[in-house]
Structure formats: C-alpha cells, structure tokens
A and B are shown apart, each in its own frame.
Chain A
Amino acid sequence: MKELLMGNEAIAVGAMAAGVRVVSGYPGTPSTEVLETVAKRNNGSVYVEWSVNEKAAMEVAAGAAYAGARAMVTMKQVGLNACSDPLMCVNYVGVKGGLVVLVADDPGPISSQTEQDTRHFGRYARIPVFDPTTPEQAYQMVQDAFELSEQLGTPVILRPTTRICHSCASIDAADSVKSEEAGGHFEKDPRWVIFPKLSYMAKRKLFSRESELSKQLSYYGGNTLTGSGRLGIACGGVSAAYAKDVLKELNADPRVLTVATPYPFPDDPAIDLLKNADRVLCLEELDPVIEDALIHICGREKIKTEILGKRTGHTITAGENSHEILRRQIGEFLGIKVPEAAKQDENAPELAVRPPILCAGCPHRASFYAVKQAMRGKKAVFSGDIGCYTLGNAAPLNTTDTCLCMGAGFTVPQGLERAGDDAIHIGFVGDSTFFHSGITGIINAVYNRTDMIAVVLDNSTTAMTGHQPHPGIGKTMMGDVSRKISIEKVLNALEVTSVRVVDPLDLAAAVEAVKQAAEEKGVRCIVFRSPCIAIVKPAKKMAVKDDCRKCQKCIRELGCPALSLENGRAVIEPSLCTGCGLCAQVCPFDMITEGGVQ
C-alpha cells in the first residue's frame, strides 16, 4: 500500500523490512524520527533503545551484530564524532549480522553546531557509504545497506541529509516486519578481540578491497550515467533531485553522473563520463567529495577533463543548495539564460526578525534569569551546552558566553578557571546532556579540585529533539518502566561540595540558591527542576492589570514571547501563556496576576 512517509520513517520501515533486530541511537535533528518510527511500528520483534550517548549506542549495535543480528545505530552528524572511537575499530573487527550506521547530515547548518560531511567518515574508516536522493530511495537503500554489510562483514553508513530526512513522499512500503529467528548467537572467536596483529591484517584487507568494491558498486542501481554531449554534471544526494528538475525545466540533456555511493566511488561510470566530457560541473552539498574523487580519477587515469565545483568557485562552499541556486549554476555552465531569482520587493513593509527563542513559560528562562540576578554586580562567565537552553544566549537573557559541544558546558569553564580568569564560572547542562556526557565533566572537576558552579537544567525530557525519554525519566523506548536515575544522587555520590535542588519558577528561592553556592568553594551543583511546558498542561494563565505602570521591566528582562507591548503597556497573549508566573515575580508593582483557570 502507498503511504505518505517522511524520509526518516521510510528508513525505519525499510530497516524493519530488512529484518533489523536491534536498533540503538541518541536523538539528534535531523535523525531522531528513524528510531522513534521503529519503536512506534514495533510488533515486539525489534529491540529498540535510546542509549545514553552515541558511543554506547554504537557499541550496543556492534555487539548485536557480532552475535549475528541485523542492527542499526542512529544519530546526527556531530553524534558520529562522539562514537568515532568504536566506529574506527569495528571497521577493522568486522561484523557477522548486518550493521547499518545511520548518520543524518545537516547542510546549512539548520539545527547543528557545524556542517559536517559524513561521507568523509566512510572514506576515513574505509566502509561503504550510501547517499539517498529521495525518501523513496532511502527506503530501498537501507535494505541494500544491510545486504552489503552482511556480504562484506563490515559496517555500512547510510547518510541522508535534512531534506531527505524531513521530507515526505508517497512510498510503496512493505507493511510487515520481516520475521526471522530472533535469537542471535555469539560464537567465540579470536576475531572479536582487536589486537595489533589483527589490525595489521585488517588494514591491508580494508585497503585492498577498495578497488574491488568500486567495481561492484559501479553497477549499483543508484549510480547512474545518462545524457550525451561534451558537458557533464556529477551530483549526489538531494542536489541530484534539484539537478533533475532544473534540467527538465531547461529542457537540457547533458551527461549526468549521479553518485549514490560516494565511497567506494563508482569509478567505471565516472571514467566513462570523464573520457567523454570536456568539462564537468559537480553539484553537491557540504564538502567537495564527488569533486575530489573526480579530480583523483583524472590524475590516476591521465584524463584532461576540467572539473568545476567548490574548489574553482563555481558552487557554494557552505549552506544548502536549492532549485534556484542550481538553476543559476547549471544555466551558466550550459550557456542557457535563466531567470534571476526573485528578490524581496523593496517596497514591502518591514518584516519581523524571528530568531528561535525559548517558548513562553520555559523553565530555562527562569533558571537563567535567577542566575543572572544572583550574579548582578559580580564578574561571572556562563558556559552553555547543546539543547533548547542554548537559546539562553539571546537577548535579553544573554546568559550563554560559550557553547561548544555536548558536555562542554561543564568542562570549558574548568579551562577558563585554570587559565586564571577570576570570574565565577558557571556551567549549564541539560538533564539528557548530563547523562550523555555531563557526568565525566563533574568527575573531572571534583578530581582536579576546580572551583565552579555546575547547573543542571532538568526539564525531565530531551526537549529540543522532540521529547525523548532518558535515564532520569524512568521509561525506556520499549515502553518499559525502568529505574529512574536521580541526578542529585549521582552528584552526591561524586562527592561534590554541595547539591541544591530548586524549582526555578520560585524566583526568590532560585536566586538564593545561586547566591549561596557562589559563597562556597569546589564544585557546587544546582539542579533547577521544572518540567518542559510541552509535556505538562498549563494550570493557569497570567494577565496584566489595567493599571500597568508601563515600566516594561517584564518585557525588557524576560523576552517571553507571550509578552508584548500595546500602547506602552505590557499585554499577555493568552494562547501562548502557560501561567509560569515568572513575569508576576519580576513586576515591581504587582500588576500581573492569575488571569483565570483554563
């Protein structure tokens, strides 16, 4: 039956059709819905877990594949860095059951710290990479990836990008989960223990299989060469879809090489293209991977074709591609005049700037505000981390001075302090991030006797990626009730100086907790605990009294999207207000009160 499936859903359904038995991962936009869809459609035959971080997820999946089960691990591109240690070893060790490493890349970047091209990782680890152009192709590719993984006894990467992950298409998908013998069996064998001798042998094999695999993949259905003439286009991923639509629009039919397996590169059709074209334009997002592969082939095969792309300034080196961008590039390349991309009308009314912001009623706003109030008049540096609370960097809160990567909210301040900066160093980490990689930072600080305040912003969910459970919640992805791991008990067990658990929406208590912690030495921890507004129903709403004194303090200091100015006085938008009451505590004239129960 045809179904409207998002790319991530299609990958999940494809994996289940391929008989996947174990799926692990860590949430990260744009990859999250893959694992969630497996969990949602699970008939009980697939084990699925949100792991504590990507490294744990990769190792769980590797173990399952050692035992002969088909396994998949899911993450976003920066998550792959957190698990590159196991990946760069499991490529040497190999697998018995198919192991698909699903890594979603984020050109733009739209929802990530960096643009990062996972295709490099495939080449670096010498494991095959599949790169889909559409959701329907991703559905087929995940199944091909499992087949190839088992055939070679090696992990295989499937690398969709945001526009594949988060776009839907009508897909004729199997509605059943492939049922096989569930019980995996681990056979003891020296091959599962990585040792220098084994690695030496494995490295030689990884290297020598490259050309053989390139031959095999040259005839993979997704790697195609079409068209005619002395001009060629080489493309992959969603750029191949844009190119196809643009060529149809321009009624042009140059040679087009579509690369579905950027590693190992499909050399045969590429050589065919290069020998028959004088110039080739490379269209791809992120890094010049296809472009470099073609330049390499030209050198090796002594072909004099000119390769145009990012390295020659013909295409963009950062950000997403689009129909308009490719139309301009292809038009110029083929010598076809194309219409200019439309510009915003100069006479249009001025448009609002809408950067992403913390939701109305978000407890993080209260936490940041309390810390800021407590540090007023003092020198303090705020180190943030990855999650909704990164948005604490925006005005008027301005409480994120550094943000690097998962877990760094607790470790960067340690370096700032060691460098001799005499400010009070305060690190912020969310609850899911605490379990992901925050705990090691606390241990590091306690062990090395660093002075800092470590704040855990506990909103009882993994909010930014869409509310996934984590070890502090007491629920697993299989729907089972699990032991809730208490953040404060973990902190106490790590022998920190002090642990205070406070509701940040109680402003006076929250400010007091920060002030007290600032007076102490060593690692002082504060857990600000209040649930994400998206997981609880608001009990009340606030309203501004008619005689608002128009001081605008609530607006200037909180930046809550439910608050706005109307003729100089503050007004609260009832459809957005969650009744958190922070504004009422900030108002110096008691002009904000409960405005009725919902």
Chain B
Amino acid sequence: MMNCLLCGVGGQGTVLASRVIAQAAMEQGLFARTAETIGMAQRGGCVVSHVRIGDTASPLIPQGCADILIAFEPGEAVRCLPYLKDDGVVVVNKKAVQPVSGSLTGKRLDGDEMINYLKAKVKKVIVVDGDAICGQCGSPKVLNTALLGAAAGSGVFDMTPGQIKKVLLDRLPQKVHQMNINALELGEKCIETEGMTEK
C-alpha cells in the first residue's frame, strides 16, 4: 500500500500530476485509486488530490497514512501535514501563493517560514524552486512536472522516473514534450541541489 497526497491552490495542476502517478502504478499491474477536488473549490481555493496504490476500498487517504506529500505551495504543505506518516517525505514548492484575503488585511504569507517549519517537523523535505525551473524551461505550466520529478527521485514510489516520464508524455501534446522532460530532470536534481533534509 502506497499513499500519495498532492495539495496546492486551484489551477496549479495537481489533477494531472495525481493521474500520472496512478496511471504509472497501473502500468505496473497495481490497483490505483485517486480522489480530486473539482468544481467551486478550484477557484483559488485549497485543492487536494489523493492517490492510493494497492488494496483499498475508499479513495481518501486517512490522516497519518501518506507516504509522500507533494505540495505545490508551502502553506498548503503545512495545512496537510496531519496526513503524513511519521517517516513520510515532503516534496514542496518554494514559492508561496498569496491569498486575496491576505492582500486585503495586509498580511503576507511567508513561504520560508512555512518551509522552516516543515524542515523542523519532517524527517525528509525536498524543496523545489518551481519558479526557477519554470523559468529555465520557459513555461509556468511545468511546475507539476518539476514536482513529479522530485517525487520520482525521492525513492518513495516503486517506480522509476523513466516510468513516470513515459506516462506523462503519453498524456501531453508533442510540442511540450521537451520542456516537460527538462522540468522532470531539473525536479529530480533538486534532491542534490537543494539537498534532502535528513535528521
């Protein structure tokens, strides 16, 4: 049984990423389920996708059972931390998404504060500089691919980055293949460049 929770803010591409992980597992003959946030909550709200690989009846990951948390936004990673197992891994995008409510009250969400908290609480944290990778690849839309790359490289999944790559490319149009391959590889490298915090 492997549980993977993806979280972020509506519009960041969590759904595609969760489908890719589930599909990659299926292609190895495993049973997979996902559950996604679709609808009203997508409009800038918190979104969560559950991916469950193995024998389970229900689609939602129980608290304390996620092997890996892939967070598209550092504040959302903190919010979803109760889902993570004691020895679970967090892959987190560096940049905070400012909430409109914060702009109105003048409070700014501090991404570094969130990441420092994660590092203090979690054994393994992989920080992905999504902005930098998107800049290098030439599109803001490859954030999900970069995070997938980091997750694939973390060794939590029973599948190789190559298997993830194959499924991802199957789902994407030809013209964006190269930029996604680049993002996947740059994501994978985050483990070396940003370092995996291990206590």
Contacts and interface: CB of A to CB of B under 8 A. Distances in A.
B78 interface: yes
A168 B19 contact: yes
A152 to B, nearest CB: 30
B31 to A, nearest CB: 5
B93 to A, nearest CB: 12
Nearest to A169: B33
Contact of A356 (B40, B50, B98): B40
By secondary structure, the A interface counts as loop
B39 A352 contact: no
B43 A388 contact: yes
Contacts of A241: 57-59
B64 interface: yes
A397 to B, nearest CB: 11
Interface string A464-488: 1100000000000000000000000
B102 A352 contact: yes
A566 interface: yes
Give the size range of A's interface with the partner. 35 or more
Interface in A304-331: 322-324, 327
Contacts of B46: 354
Contact of B113 (A133, A349, A395, A556): A349
Contacts of B60: 163, 242, 322-323
A344 interface: yes
A81 interface: no
B129 to A, nearest CB: 15
A29 B39 contact: yes
B174 interface: no
A4 B36 contact: no
B39 to A, nearest CB: 4
A110 B39 CA distance: 8
A403 interface: no
B75 interface: yes
Nearest to B30: A170
Interface string B125-161: 0000000000000001000000000000000000000
Nearest to B108: A565
A167 B104 CA distance: 35
By secondary structure, the B interface counts as mixed
B121 A345 contact: yes
B143 to A, nearest CB: 9
B78 A349 contact: yes
A201 interface: no
Contacts of B78: 348-349, 351
A134 interface: yes
Contacts of B103: 555, 559, 563-565
A520 interface: no
Contacts of B50: 167
A357 B44 contact: yes
A396 interface: yes
A282 B101 CA distance: 40
A559 B11 CA distance: 17
Contacts of A208: none
A198 to B, nearest CB: 41
Interface residues of B, number: 53
Task: Indicate the member of B45, B99, B102, B113 with the most A CB atoms within 10 Å.
Answer: B99
A594 interface: no
Contacts of B45: 354-357
Contacts of A343: 82
Nearest to B11: A359
A493 interface: no
B114 interface: yes
A573 B34 CA distance: 31
Contacts of A396: 104
Given A170-B26, A356-B45, A357-B44, A566 B108 contact: yes
Given A4-B19, A168-B34, A559 B41 contact: no
A480 B117 CA distance: 55
A406 to B, nearest CB: 15
B43 A358 contact: yes
B183 interface: no
Contact of A327 (B38, B39, B62): B62
A384 to B, nearest CB: 14
Given A4-B23, A565-B106, A464 B40 contact: yes
Interface of B: 9-11, 19, 22-23, 26, 31-46, 50, 56-60, 62-64, 75, 78-79, 81-82, 98-104, 106, 108-110, 113-114, 117, 121, 140
15 contacts: A4-B22, A30-B38, A133-B57, A163-B35, A166-B35, A166-B38, A170-B31, A241-B58, A245-B57, A345-B121, A357-B45, A395-B104, A559-B103, A564-B98, A565-B108
Interface of A: 2, 4, 29-30, 110-111, 133-134, 163, 166-170, 238, 240-242, 244-245, 322-324, 327, 339, 341-345, 348-349, 351-359, 388, 391, 395-396, 464-465, 555-556, 559-561, 563-566, 573, 575
Given A351-B79, A354-B101, 13 more contacts: A166-B37, A167-B34, A168-B19, A168-B22, A168-B32, A168-B36, A241-B59, A323-B58, A323-B62, A345-B121, A352-B102, A556-B104, A559-B100
The list of the 9 closest CB pairs from A to B, nearest first, reads A111-B39, A29-B39, A167-B59, A342-B82, A241-B58, A356-B43, A167-B35, A323-B62, A241-B57
